[in-house]
Amino acid sequence: MRRWFVALAIVAALAGGAGLILTRPSVTAPTELNGLVPDLAQGEVVFYAAGCAACHSAPGAEKEDRLVLSGGRRFETPFGTFVAPNISSDPEHGIGNWSSVDLANALIHGTSPSRQHYYPAFPYASYSRIKMQDVVSLHAFLKTLPANSAPSAPHEIGFPFNIRLALGGWKLLFLDPDWVVDRELTAEQERGRYLVEALGHCGECHTRRNALGGMVLSEWLQGAPNPNGRGRIPGLTPDQLKWSEADIAEYLKSGFTPDYDSAGGEMVEVIENTSRLSDADRLAIAKYLKIIPGASAVD
Distance CA 184, CA 166 (A): 36
Asked whether 16 and 98 are in contact (CB, 8 A), the reply is no
* pLDDT single digits (tens) 246-260: 999 999 999 999 988
Contacts of 2 (CB under 8 A, 6+ apart): none
pTM of whole model > 0.75?
Answer: yes
Name the residue type at position 169: G
> Is residue 137 very low, low, confident or very high in pLDDT (cuts 50, 70, 90)?
very high
Q: How confident is the model at residue 12 (pLDDT cuts 50, 70, 90)?
A: very low
Tell whether omega for the bond before 120 is within 30 degrees of 0, i.e. cis. Answer: no
Ramachandran category for residue 60: left, alpha or beta (phi over 0 → left; psi -120 to 50 → alpha):
left
Query: Helix or strand or coil: residue 139?
Result: helix
pLDDT of 3 > 80? The answer is no
Backbone angles phi, psi at 140, to 5 degrees: -65, -40
What is the structure's pLDDT at 299?
A: 40
Residue range 26-52, pLDDT digits in tens: 999 999 999 999 999 999 999 999 999
Q: What is the pLDDT of residues 76-92, one digit of tens each?
A: 998 999 999 999 999 99
Query: For 107, which DSSP code?
Result: I
SS3 32: helix
